Chains A and B, each alone.
Chain A
Amino acid sequence: MSIEPTPRGAPLMSVRDLTLDFLVGQRFAAARRVRALDHVSLDIYPGEIVGLVGESGSGKTTLGRALLGMIAPSSGQIFYRSDDLAAKGQAGWGPHRRDLQMVFQDPLSSFNPRFTIASALALPLKLHAICPEAQIPATTGDLLRRVGLRPEFGERYPHELSGGQLQRVAIARAISLKPNLIVADEAVSKLDVSVRAQILNLLNRMNRETGTGMVFITHDLGVARFLCHRIAVMYFGRIVEIGPARELFDNPRHPYTRSLVQARHGDLGAVVTDADEATLSIPDPAKACNYAARCARRIGQCLTQRPPLEPGADHRANACFVPLSPGATVSEGDPVHAAE
């Protein structure tokens, strides 16, 4: 596996202090504000695959969509190279559409059911004049071949293809514009185990061959470790830990990261509650560490202060007042959990 020493050079995209609130509509009563992203900062370097890992509701998909301008942030900046896109609203992304692409979770619904695969592939080529009109059929055939499909698939309609085949087409469509960054949102989670491996290998190969950077959103830390150079773990709208994939996986510092790693290994560890019951025991959730309610290691400070995401020297950062020491094992003594 080719883990490149990242980051280096100028970032391709930078997110600074990005905050995004949803108003949950209560038609008559006051609308409830739900914070999907909470002062998130992140750099993505050219050619790099950054994994966004977290549970549902962690804000990873929201962050991915904000990167592509599909959703407007409440505050904060999104830089593409040095261009602050968020400041210009939707229009900011206009000139960069070609450079920023996306692969979706559900392969079937990411294709308009009314058009054949070939015409779905041809449209972006035409829109951006990637190749002369006459060469479009040849180019689409070529694209299909690159993702391991026979060019004849072009004549079929989306529903005639299997999930794995469609996901290949989706990747072909994304790379056809030769983008600088692809956001892949749970791109393999709906696929069968045997197919998932094929797609992961394909994505990996594409990254190496084209140097296209990727933001890979997944709930599966193992998958992220395989594909990503760096991983950012998100919890309730915040990045709680970020670092090179393998190191982060092998040596988690944030308790949440660790429980994700343990969950993969079949261990429950110290997690005791569901997220929706978590805030029950926190006096003022607005001031506490997001994770405090579920955290077995929490100390007094965790309930009154939000831990900042502090970068360390080894490209790693975590937002925890009591991070796990390097090399800590699962059985290492944790502070006693003052339950109920």
Chain B
Amino acid sequence: MSAPAILLEVEDLHTSFGIKGRRTPAVRGVSFMIREGEALGLIGESGSGKTVTGLSLLRLLPEHAHMDATVLNYRGRDVLGMSDEAFRAIRGVDLAMIFQDPVGSFNPAKRIGWHLEQAILRRGDTQDWHAEAEAILADVGIRAPERVLGSYPHQLSGGMLQRALLAMIIALRPSLIIADEPTTNLDNLVERQILELIRTHQRKLGASVLFITHDLAIAGEICDRIAVMYAGQIIEIGPTREVLERPKHPYAAGLLATSASLDRGDAELHELPGEPGGAIPVRGCAFAPRCAQAMAACSERSPPLVVVGPDHLARCLLHEH
């Protein structure tokens, strides 16, 4: 079986915020690629740089951000050097994004119908947007599309809005969907449905997904491969089963152990000491201060990504042989 073509290739992505001279790095040399039809999970806690990575890929960073990479190819085309106008042309129809906050994703002054109309017209080959909009809404599990089209965003629940947003993306038929915690603000049951819809429509469209989440379990269900981020770096990346069952990096292992202890209903949950976020040390491994297995060398030099298994890499000195 020949592997599907590479859709997106990122190498050494750096993103920082602030003015020259006082920049705070958010993403520090992230590299990965996504094949066609593949779902890659980007996992991390707050401040790990996962969202910034997604925004960087779509050039949606705020103005005071600075982004750079050595390679950023989409379908083999260099995206990095594209003009803003040229990049805009592929945005939406090739690369699309679902955001965390469904309520804020809609212009509060416009009806849902308007939003869908604009999205459908953006693709540009439709005679009857209204019929298509109704069809897509029905497709994302909305029972009364007519009512939803005529509603203002504030009249709908988060779940409904997230469905409508998904409908807009489906209408554009992109080949890569970046989903940034699309279900974090939703209730559990709705969360499930949205995840289900994303999975279904991904398959229908044959699209790839970059799934950004803090929830290991969700990533495990949706994704083919998983990349775990910590302090702006990918610290472990590999096939989902590999990473979830045989995590190599102590941080990934710790997270998994925590989740597992909760799922098992242990009397005492497994704890990772310390907290994510905070200042990144100048030298050495960013996780070292929280790491139970930290060695002297860990605070000396930054560990490189090393191969720890088939298609499985980890950024830890423990595995550097």
Contacts and interface: CB of A to CB of B under 8 A. Distances in A.
A135 interface: no
Interface residues of B, number: 46
A194 B188 CA distance: 20
B5 to A, nearest CB: 30
B196 A277 contact: no
Contact of A280 (B144, B190, B193): B144
Contacts of B258: 193-194, 196-197
A164 B267 contact: no
Contact of B187 (A1, A55, A163): A55
Contacts of A276: 156-157, 159-160
B275 interface: yes
Contacts, number: 113
B254 interface: yes
Nearest to A1: B267
A163 B141 contact: no
B193 A222 contact: no
Given A275-B157, A280-B143, A56 B269 contact: no
Nearest to A165: B275
Nearest to A294: B189
A225 B265 contact: yes
A55 B160 contact: no
Nearest to B257: A197
Interface string B179-190: 000000001111
A194 B261 contact: no
A220 interface: yes
A301 interface: no
Interface in B166-220: 187-193, 196, 214-218
A129 to B, nearest CB: 35
Interface in A208-232: 219-223, 225-226
B45 A197 contact: no
A194 B143 contact: no
A144 interface: no
Contacts of A271: 189, 192-193
Contacts of B272: 194, 197-198
Contacts of A197: 258, 261-262, 269-272
A193 B44 CA distance: 9
A74 interface: no
B212 to A, nearest CB: 15
B200 to A, nearest CB: 11
Contacts of B190: 55, 274-275
A340 B197 CA distance: 21
Contact of A268 (B45, B196, B274, B277): B196
Contacts of A196: 258
B271 A219 contact: no
Given A197-B261, A277-B160, A280-B144, A266 B275 contact: no
B267 A277 contact: no
B124 interface: no
B188 A264 contact: yes
B84 interface: no
Contact of B46 (A192, A204, A264): A192
Given A192-B214, A192-B275, A197-B261, A277 B189 contact: no
B196 A198 contact: no
Contacts of B78: none
Given A271-B192, A273-B141, A277-B142, A222 B187 contact: no
The 9 closest A-B pairs by CB, nearest first: A1-B267, A55-B187, A194-B272, A192-B45, A197-B269, A274-B159, A276-B157, A263-B188, A197-B258
Interface of A: 1-2, 55-56, 162-165, 192-198, 200-201, 204, 219-223, 225-226, 246, 249, 259-260, 263-264, 266-268, 271-277, 280, 340
Given A197-B269, A226-B266, A259-B189, 12 more contacts: A55-B187, A194-B45, A194-B255, A195-B276, A198-B271, A222-B262, A263-B188, A264-B188, A273-B143, A274-B157, A274-B163, A275-B159
28 contacts: A1-B267, A55-B187, A165-B275, A192-B46, A193-B215, A193-B216, A193-B255, A193-B258, A194-B258, A194-B272, A196-B258, A197-B258, A197-B262, A197-B272, A198-B271, A201-B268, A204-B268, A220-B188, A222-B263, A225-B265, A226-B262, A226-B265, A260-B188, A266-B192, A268-B192, A274-B159, A274-B160, A276-B156
